[in-house]
Structure 1
Amino acid sequence: MTVENMKKTIFKQADYKQWKALAEQSLKGKPYDSLLTETWEGITLHPLYYEKTSSNNTSIIQSMKENPGWTIAQQTIAESASSFLKQLIDSLERGNESIVYDGTNPFDWEDNQLLELTKLVSKYPVFFMNLKNDDPILRAFDFVHHELRESISGIVQAKDWIIPVGYKNLRTNGADLWKVHHDGADAVSELAIALSVASRIAAGEKSFESFANNFFVRFAIDTHFFMEIAKLRAFRILWKAFSKAFEVNDAPPIPVMAITSLRSYSKLDPYVNLLRAGNETFAAILGGADIITVHPHDSLTGSNASSIRYAKNIQLVLKEEAHVDKVLDPAGGSYYIEKLTDELVEKAWELFLGIESKDGLDVFLQGHELKVLLSKRQIEVNTGKKSLIGTNVYAEVASTNFADRDEYKQLNRLAKPFEEFRKLASDNQPKTVLLTFGEIKDFKPRADFVTGFLASGGITSEWSPSFQTAEQAIEWLNTENPDYAIICTTDEKLSDIVESVLEKLPEGLLLDVAGKVDKDSERKWSEKGLNGTIFNGQNKIEKLHTIFDSWKGGPTK
Structure 2
Amino acid sequence: MTIDNMKKTTFEKADFNQWKELAVNSLRGKPYEALTTKTLEGIDLQPLYYERKAFDGASVVRSSKRNAGWIIAQQTIASDGADYIEQLEESIEKGNEAIVYDGEHPFNWTDDQLQKLSSFIAKFPVFYFNVRKDDAILRAFDFVHHEVRESVTGIIQVADWTVPVGYNNIRTAGADLWKAHHDGADAVTELAIALSEASRIASSSESFQAFADNFFVRLPIDTHFFMEIAKLRAFRVLWQAFAQAYGVNEPPFIPVFAVTSLRSFSKLDPNVNMLRAGNETFAAILGGADVIQAHPHNILTGPNASSIRNSRNMQLVLKEEAHVEKVLDPAGGSYFIEQLTEELVEKSWKLFLEIESKGGINPFLASGRLEENFLKLQNEIATGKRSLIGTNVYAELTSTNFDEWGGINQIARLSEPFEKLRQSFSENQPKTVLLTFGKLKDFKPRADFVTSFLASGGIKSSWSPAFENVEQAVEWLDTEKPDYAIVCGKDEIVSAEMESLLEKLPADIMLDVAGKIDQNTMHKWKQLGLNGMIFNRQNKIEKLQSVLTSWQGGTRE
State the TM-score bracket (shorter-chain normalisation).
Answer: over 0.9
Instruction: Measure the CA separation in 2 of the matches of 1:295 and 1:203.
Output: 34
In the TM superposition, structure 1's runs of 4+ consecutive aligned residues that sit over 6 Å from their partners are: none
Match of 1:82 in 2: 82
Deviation of residue 302 (structure 1)?
A: 1.1
Match of 1:340 in 2: 340
Match of 2:314 in 1: 314
Task: Find out whether 1:441 has 2:441 as its counterpart.
Answer: yes
Instruction: Measure the CA separation in 2 of the matches of 1:373 and 1:520.
Output: 35
What SS class does the counterpart of residue 151 from structure 2 fall into?
A: coil
Match of 2:353 in 1: 353
Instruction: Measure the CA separation in 1 of the matches of 2:523 and 2:407.
Output: 47
Closer, same or farther: CA 15–476 of 1 in aligned 2, 3 Å: same
What SS class does the counterpart of residue 62 from structure 2 fall into?
A: helix
Match of 1:463 in 2: 463
Contact 1:243 1:249 in 2 (8 A): yes
What SS class does the counterpart of residue 270 from structure 2 fall into?
A: coil
What letter is aligned with 1:365? L
Instruction: Measure the CA separation in 2 of the matches of 1:554 and 1:119.
Output: 63
Instruction: Measure the CA separation in 2 of the matches of 1:550 and 1:526.
Output: 15
Match of 1:164 in 2: 164
Contact 2:485 2:512 in 1 (8 A): yes
What letter is aligned with 1:467? F
Task: Find out whether 1:295 has 2:295 as its counterpart.
Answer: yes
Deviations 1:414-444 (A, max 9, x none): 0010001111111211000111111110111
Deviation of residue 249 (structure 1)?
A: 1.1
Task: Find out whether 1:108 has 2:111 as its counterpart.
Answer: no
What SS class does the counterpart of residue 427 from structure 2 fall into?
A: coil
Instruction: Measure the CA separation in 2 of the matches of 1:361 and 1:549.
Output: 41
What SS class does the counterpart of residue 375 from structure 1 fall into?
A: helix
Deviations 1:330-382 (A, max 9, x none): 10111110010011111111111111122211000111211111110000000
What SS class does the counterpart of residue 108 from structure 1 fall into?
A: coil
Match of 1:490 in 2: 490
What SS class does the counterpart of residue 423 from structure 1 fall into?
A: helix
Deviation of residue 258 (structure 1)?
A: 0.2
Instruction: Measure the CA separation in 2 of the matches of 1:409 and 1:96.
Output: 24
Contact 1:402 1:419 in 2 (8 A): no
Instruction: Measure the CA separation in 2 of the matches of 1:12 and 1:124.
Output: 54
Deviations 1:378-424 (A, max 9, x none): 00000111110000000011103434444645311100100011111
Superposed counterparts of 1:59-208, under 5 Å: 59-208=59-208
Unaligned stretches of 5+ in structure 2?
none
What letter is aligned with 2:246? F
What SS class does the counterpart of residue 553 from structure 1 fall into?
A: coil
What SS class does the counterpart of residue 495 from structure 1 fall into?
A: helix
Match of 2:519 in 1: 519
Match of 1:257 in 2: 257
Deviations 1:221-248 (A, max 9, x none): 0000000000000000111111111111
Instruction: Measure the CA separation in 2 of the matches of 1:540 and 1:53.
Output: 44
Instruction: Measure the CA separation in 1 of the matches of 2:463 and 2:416.
Output: 29
Deviation of residue 5 (structure 1)?
A: 5.6
Contact 2:97 2:125 in 1 (8 A): yes
Q: Identity rate of aligned residues, in percent? A: 64
Instruction: Measure the CA separation in 2 of the matches of 1:444 and 1:27.
Output: 25
Superposed counterparts of 1:31-70, under 5 Å: 31-55=31-55, 57-70=57-70
Instruction: Measure the CA separation in 2 of the matches of 1:172 and 1:554.
Output: 54
Deviates more, 1:19-28 or 1:502-511: 19-28
Task: Find out whether 1:27 has 2:23 as its counterpart.
Answer: no
Contact 2:302 2:407 in 1 (8 A): no
Deviation of residue 551 (structure 1)?
A: 1.6
What SS class does the counterpart of residue 548 from structure 1 fall into?
A: helix
What SS class does the counterpart of residue 296 from structure 2 fall into?
A: coil
Deviations 1:469-494 (A, max 9, x none): 11111111111111001111101100
Deviations 1:115-173 (A, max 9, x none): 11111111111111100111110011111111121111111101111111110111111
Instruction: Measure the CA separation in 2 of the matches of 1:197 and 1:122.
Output: 30
Unaligned stretches of 5+ in structure 1?
none
Closer, same or farther: CA 37–26 of 1 in aligned 2, 3 Å: same
Instruction: Measure the CA separation in 2 of the matches of 1:37 and 1:215.
Output: 36
Closer, same or farther: CA 4–123 of 1 in aligned 2, 3 Å: closer
Aligned-residue RMSD, C-alpha: 1.5
What SS class does the counterpart of residue 130 from structure 2 fall into?
A: strand
Match of 1:424 in 2: 424
What SS class does the counterpart of residue 333 from structure 1 fall into?
A: coil
Contact 1:502 1:528 in 2 (8 A): yes
What letter is aligned with 2:433? V
Match of 1:553 in 2: 553
TM-score normalised over the length of structure 1: 0.97
Instruction: Measure the CA separation in 2 of the matches of 1:30 and 1:5.
Output: 42
Task: Name the count of aligned residue pairs.
Answer: 555
Contact 1:56 1:333 in 2 (8 A): no
Contact 2:104 2:409 in 1 (8 A): no
Contact 1:53 1:339 in 2 (8 A): no
Contact 1:508 1:554 in 2 (8 A): no
Deviation of residue 56 (structure 1)?
A: 5.0
Contact 2:104 2:408 in 1 (8 A): no
Deviations 1:466-518 (A, max 9, x none): 11111111111111111001111101100122112111111110001011111
Deviation of residue 8 (structure 1)?
A: 4.3
Match of 2:328 in 1: 328
Match of 1:221 in 2: 221
Deviates more, 1:396-405 or 1:308-317: 396-405
What SS class does the counterpart of residue 51 from structure 1 fall into?
A: coil
Match of 2:286 in 1: 286
Instruction: Measure the CA separation in 2 of the matches of 1:173 and 1:280.
Output: 25
Deviates more, 1:1-10 or 1:71-80: 1-10
Task: Find out whether 1:451 has 2:441 as its counterpart.
Answer: no
Match of 1:397 in 2: 397
Closer, same or farther: CA 95–520 of 1 in aligned 2, 3 Å: same
Contact 2:433 2:464 in 1 (8 A): yes
Contact 1:258 1:284 in 2 (8 A): yes
Deviates more, 1:86-95 or 1:9-18: 9-18
Deviation of residue 20 (structure 1)?
A: 2.2
Instruction: Measure the CA separation in 2 of the matches of 1:27 and 1:130.
Output: 50
Instruction: Measure the CA separation in 1 of the matches of 2:439 and 2:210.
Output: 75
Deviations 1:184-234 (A, max 9, x none): 111111011101101111111111111111110000000000000000000
Closer, same or farther: CA 376–54 of 1 in aligned 2, 3 Å: farther
Contact 1:402 1:423 in 2 (8 A): no
Instruction: Measure the CA separation in 2 of the matches of 1:5 and 1:292.
Output: 50
What letter is aligned with 1:148? V
Deviates more, 1:352-361 or 1:321-330: 352-361
Instruction: Measure the CA separation in 2 of the matches of 1:4 and 1:163.
Output: 70
Instruction: Measure the CA separation in 1 of the matches of 2:297 and 2:400.
Output: 14
Task: Find out whether 1:371 has 2:371 as its counterpart.
Answer: yes
What SS class does the counterpart of residue 426 from structure 1 fall into?
A: helix
What SS class does the counterpart of residue 286 from structure 2 fall into?
A: helix
Contact 1:53 1:335 in 2 (8 A): no
Contact 1:54 1:339 in 2 (8 A): no
Closer, same or farther: CA 52–91 of 1 in aligned 2, 3 Å: same
Instruction: Measure the CA separation in 2 of the matches of 1:274 and 1:440.
Output: 36
What SS class does the counterpart of residue 233 from structure 1 fall into?
A: helix
